[in-house]
Amino acid sequence: MNQYAMVIDLDRCVGCHACALACRAEWNIPVPYHRNWVRELGPDKTPEGLSFTFFPGLCNHCDHPVCVDVCPADPVEKEFRDPKTGKSMKMTVKATFKDPFSGIVLIDKERCLGCGACVEACPYGARYLNENLDDPKADKCTFCVERLEHGEVPACVKSCIVDARIFGNLSDKNSEVYRLVYKKGAKRLTSKEVDIGPNVYYIGKKKDLYLLSERCTPHERTWEEVRAPGRRDLLLAALKHVRSNV
């Protein structure tokens, strides 16, 4: 099985927001929502000296995606295909799921209820629901799977003006992401409380990684609230009621 991953090099990143805008342009993401963002961090003191760095963020396509856990849609059987080998397999999935061949977390827009449970569950704030639409669907970064299928890199990777975003298959020992993660110690934003296997990693100076980690690592187990007893049933009942009234 494969796991696509991204490593972002903070030594290269200048915080220009090209990634965020390329993503918006490629997928026509409505303002003020985003699949891809940059936050300025500092200048501030760290034990390693003053730091002025950035938090370029996107969906982490986690190993244990809590957004998938909370999805209240009824599971159905879905067939997945590996575009490379042509191998296929069947899996029972909800409206959001982790693709077994790429490790990419995706949303089936046809089946999404638009309830927003996954939006609330994600500890990284990587999902949104466009509340201005009559029939909103959860949305987030797809690692540009549609582009990958056509042999293109993700839009943010293509536009990054300093080539700070390294994208590839973490399961491939010859890949650059593998080297950076397993040989160069790329870091991810995990804490004791929130450790769900994110697949976006960061490299850079100690001081910058310190500030990033201090400011941007989630500590709140956001999904537990969403999974409160009876919540899903309540939600489904409410939806059923709404539908029957149309």
Tell me which residues touch other proteins (CB under 8 A): 11-12, 14-18, 20-22, 24-33, 35, 38, 42-45, 50-53, 109, 114-117, 120, 128-131, 133-137, 139, 144, 146-147, 150, 152, 155, 158-162, 208, 228, 231, 234-235, 237-238, 241-243, 245-246
Beta bridge partners of 235: none
Which residue lies nearer to other proteins by CB, 138 or 196?
138
Q: How far is the CB of 151 from other proteins (least distance, A)?
A: 10
Beta bridge partners of 54: 40
Which residue lies nearer to other proteins by CB, 197 or 231?
231
Which residue lies nearer to other proteins by CB, 16 or 216?
16
Spatial contact of 114 and 59, defined as CB atoms under 8 Å apart: no
Which residue lies nearer to other proteins by CB, 45 or 90?
45
Q: How far is the CB of 99 from other proteins (least distance, A)?
A: 15
User: Judging by beta carbons within 10 Å of its beta carbon (0-12, 13-18, 19+), is residue 120 exposed, middle or buried?
Assistant: middle
Which residue lies nearer to other proteins by CB, 130 or 175?
130
131 CA to centre of own chain = 20
Q: How far is the CB of 239 from other proteins (least distance, A)?
A: 9
Q: How far is the CB of 197 from other proteins (least distance, A)?
A: 26
Kindly report the length of the chain.
246
Q: What is the DSSP string of 134-192?
A: SS--EE---TTHHHHTTT---HHHHH-TT--EEEEETT-TTSHHHIIIIIS--B----S
For residue 2, how many other CB atoms are within 10 A of its CB?
17
Q: How far is the CB of 29 from other proteins (least distance, A)?
A: 5
